[in-house]
Structure 1
């Protein structure tokens, strides 16, 4: 009897389930809702896949519906591809009879890869539409992508299938040598402004050669990538002053992740590494963003660098890390770095004029400026700091002490700050006697707000209400500011000539 009762209950449950099936749907009537009317896939480079973008489709009705067709307007010729709730459909282009339950939603994931086309301009929009249903019930979502034609530089594969590497000390890294007679790209030591460049691995200048970047050139680095300038080689970055916010004449080094969400994320690529013995390095009008270390300059064998009108932002360690190098810097801005915006370490010779070193990294351990005369290791080795001079500069940031002088006995430690605005609250140490030590400090403005326009977006303009306004010494004048604007007398501190902020 008990078995019969159980069988009867099972039959009733089965009959109830049969009365309501997920496959009992009504046709879609064109009343779908979407999370976006237009999906912007941002800038992608030719021959490289974009990131994946999401579109959510909603059924707000009380009925389970059947969407007879989801496809691209350009059909199988579309350069987009999609998946619908994990299904790849027909080549990622067409999907038939998609069920969407009442009060439910589904996800569509969209990507694109656009092949290089020499008949197109260097930048262009590629568009398509995702179509739902058809006929009278047709609904569309627009797709828009900015495609930038690019030259891809990357390590080759060896005969055994392994990827080309470079020896760095006792280790090897993925990398390759730039070839001035490359059969595909021509002279890889000359970066022009005709196309963008995307670099995978560490591009390396052959010894004795010079790599040159023309005004307006754009270089995008993949993760764990960068540029190496070895002994007896040089880098010349020949950016010029731009006339608009597009920085059309700047040389720009950045990550190959071009989506807006990645604009301010540090550590997306490696570094520009000027190794020991590289020489006559000249950097002008460079904007560098989102690296691990912006410029890593080693100088045990006399590495020299001239750096002018340069902006470095959002680096996980340093904006500029110098080791016993010889650097002259003018109109430099560095911000948002995990350890120090400028680190002059292991001695060396440095002179910076009209520079803005700021650090708004969210840690009390960071500083805007770090100076030392030794190398870190089990047994620290000291080297002479023969000069570290700062004229008409701003040294500021989000914490109370934005400067660290870290010296050890056994080697010279020569430094001087002239007409600088400095944020520093702990003045008990003998090295920080800003008012009573004229050998090292002259005309210091201490702990006054420079009133930058918007440091959150790396805008360090000032106006006439700034504590840095007209506080510079004309003896150290650089006639033009970082934007090419003529400085008035007495000059403002930092890299910018003051101007009214936009209303």
Structure 2
């Protein structure tokens, strides 16, 4: 009986609480507090929706309060939209009689989709404000977004309702051919600095054509996007040295997520893919960020891929993956890749001078440099490694061994390291008798090697692989391999430093 009375009492309490449909509130008096007084919605492209940003609104009083209105200053014409504690309001622009309990808070989620024509023409900023209440109790939180106009390149919708694709081997991928006479964009093979470019899918350069990138061009890739060089097609990236931190003359390839939280997130887009037979490819002053593979270079047609003054950062798999390729590299910096910064595989012909290859990826399987002469496909096959020459280079990272030379006996395997700083700790003497790693006694393959000495980079996590006069790489180079200017245009002194950077005092 006593148990029955107790359960009845609990039931009455639940019934009473569930019947309550309102709160005793007092009007807002303009004493709300906010997590920020201005919400900066980071740079967005014309007509592309932003990420969602959060504002928290606090009621620090002892009373449940009612806010008569929360609305956007530009009303229903505003390009911003909100949800307030999950409520949609009037088209996401206006909300009435919003309650905040005592000592509680609410969340406002804010997004925008705007056109560059909506922004202030002087600074391309689009602004509005969230207005809480009105009259004497009015409180505002400012909203600010930078709108960039851009050229959008993407597969076309065909007349049969399907979307344009590219034939790659036996497969078709989401992509399109760049058109030198596009009715909207004009010459899509010429990338200028006038507007940024946003690419959806893989943009292919047709056979016999050349894609040209002017100094200062900016190209942003959506997820699973990139550039493909077909057989007999070419790419010329013509960046030049910049004089400010804005890298105004650098050509930059990166993902299309412009928020700071995505600045160093790998794998946001695909790759720059030089397929079998592409020709006369040249890269100068190019920065590649956050790709799956920075460059995929496959069996080019015998002409040398020339890569100069190029930086490749935060690649999910490889910075450069070369397969039976021919590459001449000068002043290259590659930092952080899930598998290898530089992978010269399936044979080929490679020369790298004054380059810095570093890998601090959080994985025991990563290396800075991998060289082999085979491919493990359905039928394993070897190809001749004509040469892999590294001169005045730095090969370093966080793992014990940052270089792998993986030779199969069925093909030539020629390599040479001259005046290089190498990270190779022979843990447990595993490689003591391996003929590929006789750094001190093999004068055919190794000359003037600095082993396991720290280059003392400025800041690896920020991709600043500069060195100063205290670095082990200072003045250890050979003038016979001198590239007169470093990656940022500084004159090299003699004897030259190792790596892509001339030593300079670090900023204090």
**Aligned residue number for residue 440 of structure 1:** 445
**Deviation of 1:23 (Å):** 3.3
CA–CA distance in structure 2, aligned partners of residues 362 and 12 of structure 1: 58
**Deviation of 1:394 (Å):** 0.1
**Aligned residue number for residue 500 of structure 1:** 505
Contact 1:395 1:422 in 2 (8 A): yes
CA–CA distance in structure 2, aligned partners of residues 207 and 122 of structure 1: 42
* Match status 1:384 vs 2:384: yes
* 3-state SS, counterpart of residue 456 of structure 1: helix
Q: Which moved more, 1:194-203 or 1:420-429?
A: 420-429
Contact 2:119 2:147 in 1 (8 A): no
* Match status 1:483 vs 2:491: no
> Structure 1: where are the runs of 5+ without partners?
none
CA–CA distance in structure 1, aligned partners of residues 284 and 490 of structure 2: 16
CA–CA distance in structure 1, aligned partners of residues 21 and 291 of structure 2: 55
**Deviation of 1:61 (Å):** 1.7
Contact 1:212 1:236 in 2 (8 A): yes
CA–CA distance in structure 1, aligned partners of residues 112 and 485 of structure 2: 44
CA–CA distance in structure 1, aligned partners of residues 122 and 132 of structure 2: 33
> Structure 2: where are the runs of 5+ without partners?
none
**Deviation of 1:106 (Å):** 1.3
Structure 1's 11 and 215: CA in aligned 2 closer, same or farther, altered over 3 A? closer
Note the 1:153-172 alignment, pairs <5 A: 153-172=153-172
CA–CA distance in structure 1, aligned partners of residues 302 and 140 of structure 2: 63
Note the 1:390-469 alignment, pairs <5 A: 390-426=390-426, 427-428=431-432, 429-469=434-474
Structure 1's 118 and 208: CA in aligned 2 closer, same or farther, altered over 3 A? farther
Structure 1's 12 and 269: CA in aligned 2 closer, same or farther, altered over 3 A? closer
Note the 1:60-99 alignment, pairs <5 A: 60-99=60-99
* 3-state SS, counterpart of residue 461 of structure 2: helix
CA–CA distance in structure 1, aligned partners of residues 121 and 343 of structure 2: 42
CA–CA distance in structure 2, aligned partners of residues 12 and 324 of structure 1: 80
Contact 1:276 1:302 in 2 (8 A): no
CA–CA distance in structure 2, aligned partners of residues 308 and 479 of structure 1: 13
**Deviation of 1:16 (Å):** 6.1
Contact 1:277 1:303 in 2 (8 A): no
CA–CA distance in structure 2, aligned partners of residues 457 and 71 of structure 1: 40
**Aligned residue number for residue 268 of structure 1:** 268
Note the alpha carbon deviations across 1:253-310, whole angstroms, 9 max, x for none: 0000011111111000000001111000000000000000000000164353100000
Note the alpha carbon deviations across 1:347-375, whole angstroms, 9 max, x for none: 00000000000001001110000001011
* 3-state SS, counterpart of residue 414 of structure 2: coil
**Deviation of 1:499 (Å):** 0.3
Contact 1:321 1:342 in 2 (8 A): yes
Contact 1:123 1:149 in 2 (8 A): no
**Deviation of 1:35 (Å):** 1.5
* 3-state SS, counterpart of residue 415 of structure 1: strand
Contact 1:122 1:148 in 2 (8 A): no
**Aligned residue number for residue 237 of structure 1:** 237
Q: What TM-score does the superposition give when structure 1 sets the normalisation length? A: 0.96
* Match status 1:361 vs 2:354: no
Contact 2:220 2:253 in 1 (8 A): yes
Q: Which moved more, 1:109-118 or 1:363-372?
A: 109-118
Note the alpha carbon deviations across 1:214-253, whole angstroms, 9 max, x for none: 0000000000000001110000000000001111100000
**Deviation of 1:169 (Å):** 1.5
CA–CA distance in structure 2, aligned partners of residues 106 and 114 of structure 1: 26
**Aligned residue number for residue 343 of structure 1:** 343
* Match status 1:186 vs 2:191: no
* Match status 1:280 vs 2:280: yes
**Aligned residue number for residue 54 of structure 2:** 54
Note the alpha carbon deviations across 1:289-336, whole angstroms, 9 max, x for none: 000000000016435310000000000000000000110000000011
* Match status 1:296 vs 2:301: no
Q: Which moved more, 1:157-166 or 1:239-248?
A: 157-166
Kindly tell me the number of residue pairs found equivalent between the two proteins: 501
Contact 1:59 1:105 in 2 (8 A): yes
**Aligned residue number for residue 124 of structure 2:** 124
* 3-state SS, counterpart of residue 76 of structure 2: helix
CA–CA distance in structure 2, aligned partners of residues 488 and 433 of structure 1: 30
**Aligned residue number for residue 259 of structure 1:** 259
CA–CA distance in structure 1, aligned partners of residues 255 and 415 of structure 2: 35
CA–CA distance in structure 2, aligned partners of residues 9 and 308 of structure 1: 81
The RMSD of aligned alpha carbons is: 2.2
Contact 1:176 1:203 in 2 (8 A): yes
**Aligned residue number for residue 148 of structure 2:** 148
CA–CA distance in structure 2, aligned partners of residues 304 and 35 of structure 1: 56
* 3-state SS, counterpart of residue 387 of structure 2: strand
**Deviation of 1:436 (Å):** 0.4
Contact 1:70 1:96 in 2 (8 A): yes
Contact 2:119 2:126 in 1 (8 A): no
* 3-state SS, counterpart of residue 269 of structure 2: coil
Contact 1:288 1:312 in 2 (8 A): yes
